């Protein structure tokens, strides 16, 4: 959701900026732009893909070595070139790119208009550019600082001024910014991916910090204009990890990453001998863990379906009542939190605005708040008092796949760890760990079904609606399968716990309404089978995800795909992969933009 890139060094900035924007494409955007210090500031913007911007630039000679760039996801004002960033102020000497929302932009605009400023766009960002211009007295950082003191809202901001050609000023409040430190060159971006090819050394700007980046280095200040020292950190991800590695789409690559990244998630964290898991980041003593009376899992979208699997695991293994709360609801409904409540915030990006707000609310109310997060150094990771990285690696497709799997993996590990302190026996703990260690092989077996699933998707791609059914721990799997299908293929789809069908949804059943049902050999098998018989009687076409060897179910369905058996609690780690592949192939067959579905952003940093 909007992306910022900046470069200051000795190489031509333009190719680095354009390449950086491409790395941020996964966040979602509808226009892009770039501004480079080239004697004067040269700016170019275009609606649509970065290719349109690159096309416009191909015959220009811009050799400057300092510049900023932006991908915009429209909030204030339509998708037009005028509204695309970067934005100039009046005199063409000051230019900014901004993520976030300036809430009081209307009153600021009125004031600036009365001072004679004229505006060319409908954006809140342009207002901020003019506000900085008004405050500019020869020092860009001070002007930014003074201007920001007058705004309400959120920002990740980069600014340049033609009078100070070797300087970029960056500021953050609520919208992430990372500064990369190379050999005599510096990078600024919304996350580390644009700089991975050049450097692994980064500092993360915190809320309320302003950085002044020049050839001689980076100086960081707080809003009181005090110089502060920043820690330089090493990023583990390499550039290659962020590429497609021969797959047609990032999503397909990321689906296939799952056996490996699952191993990364559990490596060094499971203990077969003791039948338990060790997740040190929890920062709680055994006694504190035993004292927990309630767990609340807060998340959005796919992460919330992973959380629903987590609920089963925590309740079954640890015997701790567990709730799943969608973060956008949690933050406003005055949740009941005590000092015996443990809240986990679950997020791939670690930047989701609703989840972050829910974290702050839970902390305010005195809960233990921990993160289950993918992006290292992200805001949620830093604002929680501990937690665990899921080690899924960069997830660039908007549709989350491997992050779901690793979120589930980590919650199961936590549930085992809590369970072993309370009621799980050594033998059960050992069985679980052993079964977990077998999961990558089972995932590989599912991935081998890729071609079969593609044929299936071809057969069903003409339908306009879909219904996913599951029970027990496979109900969240059904929800996630449905979520994947709608977000990338735009096919209307719903998911229900199969036992609910007779209370309303049965009315929808017809030959035009196919059902994708999960019927695996677990404790709810017989119940689920009866539910499917009822669907069959109403003539909906049925696809079944079934357990290898269960030949008897063939009479129930049009199509059956078999997956390997595992312990019931671990079934989502196997079954979800098949539904991800189904959604992927449906979207490809229908010609959709799989990695960047319409109207969606990877990192939802606004409410
Ligand atoms: C997943 O496919 C979606 N793009 C979306 O639901 C996502 O899971 C949600 O926005 C939460 O994101 P987060 O995990 O980065 O917090």
> With the C-alpha atoms ordered 160, 165, 168, 169, is the resulting torsion angle positive or negative?
negative
What's the CATH fold of domain 450-589?
Answer: Rossmann fold (3.40.50)
Mean pLDDT computed over 260-287? 91
Q: Is the CB of 604 under 6 A from ligand 1?
A: yes
Summarised one tens digit per residue, pLDDT across range 94-144 is: 999 999 888 899 999 999 999 999 999 999 999 999 999 999 999 999 999
pLDDT in tens, 140-167: 999 999 999 999 988 999 999 999 999 9
Q: Is 128 helix (H, G, I), strand (E, B) or coil?
A: helix
**Which has the closest alpha carbon to 525: 552, 555, 496?**
552
**Is residue 439 scored above 90 in pLDDT?**
yes
pLDDT at 333: 86
Statement: residue 281 has pLDDT above 90 = no
Give the list of residues 6+ apart from residue 291 with CB closer than 8 angstroms, or none. 340
Any atom of ligand 1 within 6 Å of the Cβ of 487: yes
Instruction: Give the pLDDT band of residue 231 (cuts 50, 70, 90).
Output: very high
pLDDT at position 79 is 81
Q: What percent of the chain has pLDDT over 90?
A: 81
Predicted pLDDT of residue 245: 67
Q: Is 348 in the pocket of ligand 1 (CB under 6 A)?
A: yes
Report whether residue 303 contacts ligand 1, using a CB cutoff of 6 Å. yes
- Kindly indicate the confidence band of residue 268, based on its pLDDT and cuts at 50, 70 and 90: confident
Q: Is the pLDDT of residue 240 over 70?
A: no
Model confidence at 74: pLDDT above 90: no
Q: Return the pLDDT at 304.
A: 98
Q: Rounded to whole angstroms, how far apart are CA atoms 540 and 60?
A: 59
pLDDT score for 239: 66
Q: Any idea where the domains of the chain sit in the sequence?
A: 3-242, 250-439, 450-589
**CATH superfamily for domain 3-242:** Aminohydrolase, N-terminal nucleophile (Ntn) domain (3.60.20.10)
Band the pLDDT of 49: cuts 50, 70, 90. confident
Q: How far is the CA of 251 from the centre of ligand 1 (A)?
A: 14
Please report the pLDDT score of residue 603 as a whole number: 82
Ligand 1 pocket test target in 303, 488, 603 with most atoms within 8 Å of CB:
303
Question: Which distant-in-sequence residues (6+ apart) come within 8 Å of 398 by Cβ?
Answer: 26, 28, 487, 488, 595, 596, 597, 600, 601, 602
For atom 5 of ligand 1, which residue has the closest CA?
Answer: 301
What is the Cα–Cα distance from 418 to 278, expressed in whole angstroms? 10
Counting from 1 in the atom list of ligand 1, the atom nearest the Cα of 600 is 4
Give yes or no for residue 201 having a pLDDT over 70.
yes
- Is residue 605 lining ligand 1, measured as CB closer than 6 Å? no
Q: Is the CB of 349 under 6 A from ligand 1?
A: yes
Any idea which of 16-30, 124-138, 366-380 has the lowest mean pLDDT?
16-30
pLDDT confidence bin for 1, thresholds 50/70/90: low
Ligand 1 near 400 CB (within 6 A): yes
- Mean pLDDT, the chain, rounded, equals 93
- Check if 3-242 and 450-589 are the same fold: no
Provide mean pLDDT across the span 382-399: 91
pLDDT digits (tens, 9 = 90+) for 171-186: 999 888 999 999 999 9
Q: Which CATH class is domain 250-439?
A: alpha beta
The Cα–Cα gap between 159 and 140 comes to 8
Q: What is the mean pLDDT of residues 240-249?
A: 74
Mutate to test the pocket of ligand 1, among 300, 330, 606 (most ligand atoms within 8 A of CB): 300
Residue positions annotated with a catalytic role: 2, 602
Q: How far is the CA of 545 from the centre of ligand 1 (A)?
A: 25
Cβ–Cβ under 8 Å, residues 402 and 393: yes
**What are the tens digits of pLDDT across the range 320-351?**
999 999 999 998 888 889 999 999 999 999 99
Residue 21 has a pLDDT of 96
Report the pLDDT value the prediction gives residue 559, as an integer from 0 to 100.
98
Ligand 1: centre distance to CA 346 (Å): 10
Q: Strands of 186-189's sheet, edge to edge? A: 40-47, 31-38, 66-72, 3-8, 186-189, 178-181, 201-204, 233-234
pTM of the model: 0.75
User: Which of 114, 200, 115 is CA-nearest to residue 376?
Assistant: 200
Average pLDDT over residues 540-555: 96
Q: Which of 283, 535, 530 is nearest to 414 (CA)?
A: 283
Confidence of residue 242 (pLDDT cuts 50, 70, 90): low
User: Which residues, listed in sequence order, are joined to residue 546 by a DSSP beta bridge?
Assistant: 519, 562
Q: What is the pLDDT of residues 413-425, one digit of tens each?
A: 999 999 999 999 9
Predicted pLDDT at 604: 86
28 Cβ below 6 A of ligand 1: no
pLDDT band at 73 (very low <50, low <70, confident <90, very high): confident
Q: Which H or E run includes 399? A: none
| Ligand 1, pocket-test mutation among 301, 352, 396, most atoms within 8 A of CB | 301
């Amino acid at each position: 959701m909007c992306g910022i890139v900046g470069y200051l060094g000795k190489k031509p900035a333009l190719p680095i900026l354009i390449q950086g924007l491409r790395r941020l494409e996964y966040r979602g955007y509808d226009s892009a732009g770039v501004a480079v210090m080239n004697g004067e500031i040269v700016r170019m913007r275009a609606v649509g893909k970065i290719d349109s911007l690159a096309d416009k630039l191909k015959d220009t000679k811009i050799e400057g070595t300092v510049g900023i760039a932006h991908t915009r996801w429209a909030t204030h004002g339509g998708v037009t070139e005028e509204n695309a960033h970067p934005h100039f102020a009046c005199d063409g000497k000051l230019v900014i790119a901004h993520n976030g929302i300036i809430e009081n932009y209307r009153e600021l605009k009125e004031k600036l208009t009365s001072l004679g400023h004229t505006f060319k766009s409908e954006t809140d960002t342009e207002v901020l550019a003019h506000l900085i211009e008004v405050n500019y007295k020869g020092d860009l950082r001070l002007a930014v600082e003074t201007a920001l003191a007058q705004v309400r809202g959120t920002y990740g901001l980069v600014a340049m001024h033609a009078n100070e050609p070797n300087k970029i000023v960056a500021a953050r409040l609520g919208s992430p910014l990372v500064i990369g430190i190379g050999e005599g060159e510096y990078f600024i971006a919304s996350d580390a991916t644009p700089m991975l090819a050049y450097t692994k050394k980064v500092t993360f700007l915190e809320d309320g910090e302003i950085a002044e980046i020049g050839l001689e280095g980076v100086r960081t200040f707080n809003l009181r204009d005090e110089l502060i020292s920043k820690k330089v950190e090493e990023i583990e991800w390499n550039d290659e990890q962020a590429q497609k590695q021969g797959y047609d789409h990032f999503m397909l690559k990321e689906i296939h990453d799952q056996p490996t990244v699952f191993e990364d998630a559990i490596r060094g964290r499971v203990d077969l001998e003791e039948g338990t898991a060790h997740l040190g980041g929890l920062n709680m003593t055994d006694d504190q863990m035993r004292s927990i009376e309630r767990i609340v899992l807060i998340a959005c979208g796919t992460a919330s379906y992973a959380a629903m699997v987590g609920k089963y695991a925590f309740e079954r293994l640890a015997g701790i009542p567990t709730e799943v709360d969608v973060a956008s609801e949690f933050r406003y409904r005055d949740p009941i939190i005590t000092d015996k409540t443990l809240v986990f915030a679950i997020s791939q990006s670690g930047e989701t605005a609703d989840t972050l707000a829910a974290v702050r609310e839970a902390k305010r109310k005195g809960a233990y708040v921990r993160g289950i997060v993918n992006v290292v150094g992200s805001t949620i990771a830093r604002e929680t008092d501990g937690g665990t990285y899921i080690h899924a690696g960069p997830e660039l497709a908007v549709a989350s796949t491997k992050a779901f799997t690793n979120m589930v993996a980590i919650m199961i590990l936590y549930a085992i760890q809590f369970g072993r302190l309370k009621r799980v026996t050594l033998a059960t703990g050992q069985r679980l760990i052993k079964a977990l260690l077998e999961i990558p092989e089972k995932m590989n077996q599912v991935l081998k079904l890729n071609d079969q699933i593609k044929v299936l998707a071809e057969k069903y791609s003409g339908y306009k609606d879909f219904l996913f059914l599951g029970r027990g721990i496979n109900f969240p799997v059904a929800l996630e399968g449905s979520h994947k299908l709608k977000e990338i293929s735009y096919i209307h789809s719903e998911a229900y716990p199969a036992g609910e069908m007779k209370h309303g949804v049965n009315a929808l059943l017809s030959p035009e309404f196919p059902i994708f049902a999960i019927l695996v050999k677990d404790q709810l098998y017989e119940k689920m089978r009866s539910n499917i018989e009822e669907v069959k009687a109403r003539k909906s076409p049925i696809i079944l995800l079934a357990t290898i060897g269960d030949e008897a179910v063939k009479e129930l369905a049009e199509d059956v795909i078999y997956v390997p058996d595992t312990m019931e609690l671990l079934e989502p780690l196997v079954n979800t992969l098949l539904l991800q592949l189904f959604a992927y192939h449906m979207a490809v067959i229908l010609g959709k933009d799989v990695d960047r579905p319409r109207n969606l952003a990877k990192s939802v940093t606004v409410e």
